[in-house]
Structure 1
Amino acid sequence: MALILTFLGKGGTGRTTMAIAAAKRFAQQGKRVLLAGQDSSPAFSLLVGKPLTADPQEVSSNLQAVQFRATAMLERSWEELKQQEAQYLRTPFFKAVFGQELGVLPGMDSALALNAIREYDASGKYDVIVYDGTGDQATLRMLGMPEIASWYIRRFRQVFADSDLGKTVSPFLQPLASAVLNVNWSAGGDAFAQPAGQVNNLLDQGKEAVANPNRVAAYLVTSGDEGAIATARYLWGSAQQVGLTVGGVLLNQSTPSERIRQEFTPLPVSTIPTRTGDNWQPLMDALPNFADATQAPKPIAVNVADRKVALFLPGFDKKQVKLTQYGPEVTIEAGDQRRNVSLPPELRGKQVTGAKFQDGYLIISF
């Protein structure tokens, strides 16, 4: 399994430059590195210094780079879907549709990029994957996709099972599935257990990876510009909403001030110099030790004994944070994102008895 590293910040602050410098430094340390860029324009290849394609290209010793292209990824994913369909359906119908004719719909880019990162990670070819994405809410929603998708499956599956419609049609599902699916009902199994189990396993693996700073971590990139600082703080808090650990701040081409350090306390702030020509070494030397991301505040901490849950939400004040409990889980809204907190069995189904916002933490009592 690889360390997956990405960078968040306002456009123009140097996120791509930081990603390339980080990839070069990991490679210099002897790590097998993949630098993956979401930008399909020529700009990414120009910065890397080599024409890139939809397949990994050797850039230097220990370093490969790939330029994500949604059409190529969609083609590959469609072929995989057709193979899955042929495995489970007696009469596949997607076989009449070809990946080469599919257009890319809004939002597909993120899902395809996440799947590509998952596949590169599972290949075992890389020790580190540096992902240069959009660095904004789109990147965070992409990394939060496993948790959100698993919630939709969990919630709506239960809602359907408990509904009058679900109870009415359940007796008819078995013979219908027998006629449509490649399953052996005589074995007494659930026709949907295997495919559903595979999906849930993938989602669980994704959630566990994002929640583990040894597996996935992000760093904020900002300049001294007020807008860049405000955006970085907002993305810091938003990252906590998807369970992503932010390990530190990279201050690009600016002199650190006490105010900037206070804005991002307790994160360490690293000053990154201006790159001169093709000399990347000063930037590589100025980067922090990315393994220190494990020392950053965790997005969520659960204290079962005290019946409390603490969520770290920097960059927001209490007026921007909303706590609700409409369903069986607690929902936190901050910025433009909602998070349904998965509670341990000891607290699951319990009603919230109190909440307070203190020092960037939302502390919920049960």
Structure 2
Amino acid sequence: MSLILTFLGKGGVGKTTTAIAVARAFAAQNKQVLYVGQQAGDSLSIRLGVDLNSDPQSVAPNFSAVHLKSTVLLERYWDKMKGLETQYLRSPFFKEVYGQELGILPGMDAALGLSFLRERDAEGKYDVIIYDGVGDLETLRMLGMPEILGWYLRRFKQVLTGSAIGQAISPFVEPILRSILQVSSTDDISQQAGEMSSVLTRGQKAVNDPSHVAAYLVTTGDPYAIATAKYLWGSAQQVGLTVGGIFAREAIPEEEFAPLAIFSIPDQVSELIIPDRLDARLAPKPIEINTATKQVKLFLPSFNKKQVKLIQLGPEVTIEAGDQRRNIFLPSELAGKQATGAKFQDSYLIISFG
């Protein structure tokens, strides 16, 4: 299992520079590191001095990097899906549709990036994988995708299996989703949904595990940079991603991000050393569910009660904060119980159930 890290912050604060320095510092500790870039242009290749493509290239001892291109990934995953379709179906439906023909739909970049990370993590080849995405909110939505898609599968399963329109659109929607998630194709829609749900559940557990996936904020002392970092901190919590600490290029008051640890970035960033406290498990968890006290606690720093909306529908609770929504599927002990109260206390939203 790899440690997957990403860095968030206002544009221009040095996120990529810091991420590369952290990658090199891990490599200097004899850890195998993969740097995954998905931003536009060739800036990453110029920074690293290596002509990068969609396959990992060696940059330095223990340090490899890759620059993802969605067209290449979609073509590869589509061909894999067609291979599975040929294996499982007597009359493959999409054998005459070629990956080279497919255009990139909105949201595909994130889904393809997530699938690539999942593959590299499953290989067990790398100790640390650092992801540098196209933008911070896009990165958060990418990492929140397993939870969000899981919700859509639960909600729309009946539509796909029971309605005429669901049956009409499923041949076109499901192959693309299967090709990205890389699950087998069968003629049983219920089985397809179950297999995809299993993949998404594993992805959600990985994102929710700070020993597996974590984010770190990068900021300067500029008030706008601090405000952006705080907003991204709260937004990361909303997708279940733990923020483990702050990398600061200038001195900032500790109370700005309490209780997170603040790590100083040296003037010569190449001299950065991995701090002993760089452990996201020491940071507050995004969510805690206590069935004994019948409470759900969500850590929502940088938000106040006026910025949070709570909706309960059936066994799920939806929390809206900032530009993120999180659907919490309640455990059986709390499913069916109505929320009786909610309060803010020390940056926590505490929801009580009757």
Could you tell me the TM-score, scaled by structure 2's length? 0.89
Q: Determine if the alignment matches structure 1 residue 269 to structure 2 residue 262.
A: yes
Q: How does 1:49-60 map to 2 (within 5 A)?
A: 49-60=49-60
1:331·1:338 contact (CA, 8 Å) conserved in 2?
yes
C-alpha separation between the residues in 1 aligned to 2:196 and 2:277? 31
Q: Secondary structure at the match of 1:325?
A: strand
Counterpart residue number, 2:321: 334
**Pairing 1:144-223 to 2, within 5 Å after superposition:** 144-158=144-158, 191-192=188-189, 194-223=191-220
Q: Which residue of 1 aligns with 2:44?
A: 44
Gapped regions of structure 1 (runs ≥ 5): 170-180, 184-190
Structure 1 pair 160–83 and aligned structure 2 pair: CA distance change class (3 A): closer
Specify which of 230, 235, 238 is matched with residue 227 of structure 2.
Answer: 230
Q: Does the 8 Å contact 2:157/2:193 carry over to 1?
A: no
Structure 2 residue aligned with 1:257: 252
Offset of residue 290 of structure 1:
6.4
Matched pairs, number: 334
Corresponding letter in the other structure for 2:155: R
Q: Max radius of gyration: which structure?
A: 1
Pair 1:182–1:104, CA change in 2 (3 A) = closer
Partner residue in 2 for 1:178: none
2:303 aligned residue (316, 319, 328):
316
Separation in structure 2 between the aligned mates of residue 37 and residue 290 of structure 1, nearest angstrom: 26
In 2, the alpha carbon distance for the partners of 1:249 and 1:352 equals 34
Instruction: Decide which of 304, 320, 342 is 1:355's aligned counterpart.
Output: 342
Q: 1:242 is matched with which residue?
A: 239
1:231-256 alpha-carbon deviations (Å, 9 max, x no partner): 1100100111110000001112x2x1
| Aligned partners of 1:218 and 1:247 also within 8 Å | yes
Contact map agreement 1:15 1:135 (CA 8 A) in 2: no
Contact 1:147–1:207 (8 Å) recurs in 2: yes
Q: CA deviation digits over 1:13-32, x for unaligned, max 9?
A: 11111111111111111111
Give the stretch that moved more between structures: 266-275 or 12-21. 266-275
Please give the residue correspondences for 1:290-305 in structure 2 after superposition, counting only pairs within 5 Å: 291-305=278-292
- Report if the CA contact (8 A) 1:90-1:182 is conserved: no
- 2:95 is paired with a residue whose SS is helix
Q: Root-mean-square deviation (CA), in Å? A: 2.0
Aligned-pair distance for 1:105?
Answer: 2.2
- Give distance in 2, aligned partners of 1:157 and 1:53: 38
| Deviation beyond 4 Å, 4+ runs, structure 1 | 158-161
Structure 2 residue matching 1:96: 3-state secondary structure: coil
Structure 1 vs Structure 2: percent identity of aligned residues? 59
- Compared CA separation, residues 31 and 324, structure 1 to 2 (3 A): same
2: CA distance, partners of 1:356 / 1:272: 37
Instruction: Deviation per CA, 1:109-158: give whole Å up to 9, x if none.
Output: 11110001111111121111111113511100000000000111112225
Structure 2: stretches of 5+ with no match in the other structure: 168-184
Worse-matched range after superposition: 48-57 or 292-301: 48-57
